[in-house]
Amino acid sequence: MLEYKKFKANCMNCSIAELCLPVALSDSELSQLDKIIKKRRIIHKGEELFYQDGKFMALYAIRSGSFKTYILNQDSQEQITSFHLPGELLGFDAISKEKHLVTAKALETSSVCEVPFTELLTLAAQLPKLQTQLFRLMSREMDNEMKLQINASAEQRLAVFLQNISSRYKQRGLSSSKFILTMTRQDIANYLGLATETVSRLFKAMQGKGVIQVERREISILDFDKLQIATCQHKAM
Amino acid sequence: MLEYKKFKANCMNCSIAELCLPVALSDSELSQLDKIIKKRRIIHKGEELFYQDGKFMALYAIRSGSFKTYILNQDSQEQITSFHLPGELLGFDAISKEKHLVTAKALETSSVCEVPFTELLTLAAQLPKLQTQLFRLMSREMDNEMKLQINASAEQRLAVFLQNISSRYKQRGLSSSKFILTMTRQDIANYLGLATETVSRLFKAMQGKGVIQVERREISILDFDKLQIATCQHKAM
DNA sequence: GTAAAACATTGATATGGATCAAGCATTCGT
DNA sequence: ACGAATGCTTGATCCATATCAATGTTTTAC
């Protein structure tokens, strides 16, 4: 038991600490952060981490796995607002109104660290580097969203989506050219404002052009230049 | 000259201070904030407050006027990412990469307060209420963006847009039922991913249904319930 | 005050992607 | 290991909205 406790996850030995908070915090600073972080939580596929309208208490650092966040609109249709990958921090949307505006559902069995927000702010006031980093992460969250050009064609949107996922994996030191999409075609279509059929056809078309290789949910980007061109060109070419 | 200086704008007498930072800061706290705030700047219609890729130095509080922010995509087409109204804070997008991701252009002659970011963070670490408020404002910024349902019909998008503008004016104590749109039809269309012609036709159609009254750029919302229904209903009714 | 430019409206036509329909492939639950 | 449910693909058709075209209206600049 003691042995187990000794090795339980904390910020100092957490393998993603430098990823979710990649700021040069000293060991003593990290251990302060560790003190306020609640223990790890496992969320199984399809389970919810927090609910729309639920009280906002904490941010969540994704240690492994992935989530989609969505709002339910008036006809209780799900509208996906974003996907969240390992090493990212989740829950910023709820700060303003102190309640969640979205529901976060696990796309696969996932592990998160719960970071009580009030305590985090108190600590941030004492550790300038932590404060700066929090603002930076939140800003990056905003930037990620911005890329989705609403007036883009279906192919442009899908190309931007693939670039975005790819670069986020790259940021985490994972392969940017070959990865598994953890969400369904329907999720992708919903997020991009397309029909599933369109997503399916576009994957096939992009494969036909030698831009990507699609094997079910496994995507290989064969030609980053062509992908880049696909994000901005207006018509087929 | 002395008289002029005595009355120059500062945070304690600024009429929108409680709006842009509506937190109960004491007089002494406000005067600390005032010390770091650079003097007012006037930006004329069509002029730029900051440029895409420009170095990030400061946030800007809009005292009066309004702005659009946009990215230039690869074919140097403007893509509007948001509109910013009086009392709102501008520039959060640039924190992450320490450079602006968008250009901010004045839609009308506007007045802003420049808030150097580094100094603001230092002060926020000392004033917990200011820190909390900053996170809250940034989160609200994120929430504002989120509303735009990408898979919504043209009419739904326009209805959501009008609701959004209306509620933001309301937050500032201005009329939520009658206001002037400071942006062109082209800007609205660009932002919503529609053609200007479609925006024009929809305004007319919504007026025909008694939802709104349109007089060039002056909008009166005649029936908030009908507007609400328009944001979610799928087809004409 | 006038000409030019920018902005807005209205109508006719074309099309990208939705929707409908059907069947196949994979994953899940027991 | 099996059947059922879910996810994915492909084809045919249709419609919401873009695009093209023309004209009217307001604002800007000299």
Strand order of the β-sheet with A110-116 is: A40-43, A110-116, A58-64, A89-90
Range 136-165 of A in CB contact (< 8 A) with B:
136-143, 145-146, 148-152
Q: How far B190 CA sits from the closest chain A CA (Å)?
A: 7
What's the confidence (pLDDT) of residue A3?
A: 43
What's the confidence (pLDDT) of residue A234?
A: 56
Q: How confident is the model at residue A18 (pLDDT cuts 50, 70, 90)?
A: low
What's the confidence (pLDDT) of residue B13?
A: 66
Contact A145 B146 (CB under 8 A): yes
Structure tokens at B120: 């603001």
What's the confidence (pLDDT) of residue B157?
A: 92
Average pLDDT over residues B82-94: 90
Range 73-92 of A in CB contact (< 8 A) with B:
73-75, 79, 81, 92
Average pLDDT over residues B37-65: 91
How many other C-beta atoms lie within 10 A of the C-beta of residue B14?
19
Q: How many residues does chain B have?
A: 237
What's the confidence (pLDDT) of residue B30?
A: 82
| Least trusted range by pLDDT, from B37-41, B55-59, B86-90 | B37-41
Q: How far A8 CA sits from the closest chain B CA (Å)?
A: 31
- The rounded percent of chain B whose pLDDT value lies above 90 is 54
Bridge partner residues of A59 (DSSP): A115
Distance in Å, residue B66 CA to nucleotide D19 C1': 31
CA triple B228-B231-B195, angle to 5 deg: 135
What's the confidence (pLDDT) of residue A73?
A: 78
Q: Which of B122, B124, B138 sits opposite A138 (nearest CB)?
A: B138
Chain A residues with CB inside 8 Å of B140's CB? Answer: 96
| Least trusted range by pLDDT, from A210-214, B20-24, B93-97, B211-215 | B20-24
Average pLDDT over residues A93-111: 92
Average pLDDT over residues B102-108: 95
Q: How confident is the model at residue B138 (pLDDT cuts 50, 70, 90)?
A: confident
Q: How confident is the model at residue B5 (pLDDT cuts 50, 70, 90)?
A: very low
- The rounded percent of chain B whose pLDDT value lies above 70 is 87
How many other C-beta atoms lie within 10 A of the C-beta of residue A217?
12
pLDDT at position B236 over 50: no
**What are the tens digits of pLDDT across the range A37-77?**
877 889 999 999 999 999 999 999 998 899 999 998 777 78
What's the confidence (pLDDT) of residue B219?
A: 95
Burial class from Cβ neighbours inside 10 Å (0-12, 13-18, 19+) for residue A74 reads exposed
* Strand C lies under 7 A from the Cβ of residue A155: yes
Bridge partner residues of B103 (DSSP): B70
More confident residue, A124 or B141: A124
* Strand D lies under 7 A from the Cβ of residue A186: yes
Q: How confident is the model at residue A5 (pLDDT cuts 50, 70, 90)?
A: very low
**Cβ of A237 under 8 Å from any chain B Cβ?**
no
Average pLDDT over residues A195-207: 96
pLDDT at position A145 over 90: no
Spatial distance between the Cα atoms of B143 and B149, rounded to a whole number of angstroms: 12
- How confident is the prediction for chain B on average, in pLDDT? 86
What's the confidence (pLDDT) of residue B4?
A: 43
Residue of chain A nearest B192, judged by CA positions: A150
What's the confidence (pLDDT) of residue A236?
A: 38
Average pLDDT over residues B80-86: 92
| Least trusted range by pLDDT, from A106-110, A209-213, B71-75 | B71-75
Structure tokens at B53: 């890729």
Chain A residues with CB inside 8 Å of B142's CB? Answer: 92-93, 96, 138, 141-142, 145
C-alpha distances (whole Å) from A19 to each of A46, A85, A133, B61 are 25, 12, 11, 32
| Least trusted range by pLDDT, from A202-206, B12-16, B70-74, B165-169 | B12-16
* Strand C lies under 7 A from the Cβ of residue B216: yes
pLDDT at position B165 over 70: yes
- Nearest nucleotide to the CA of A196, by C1', is D8
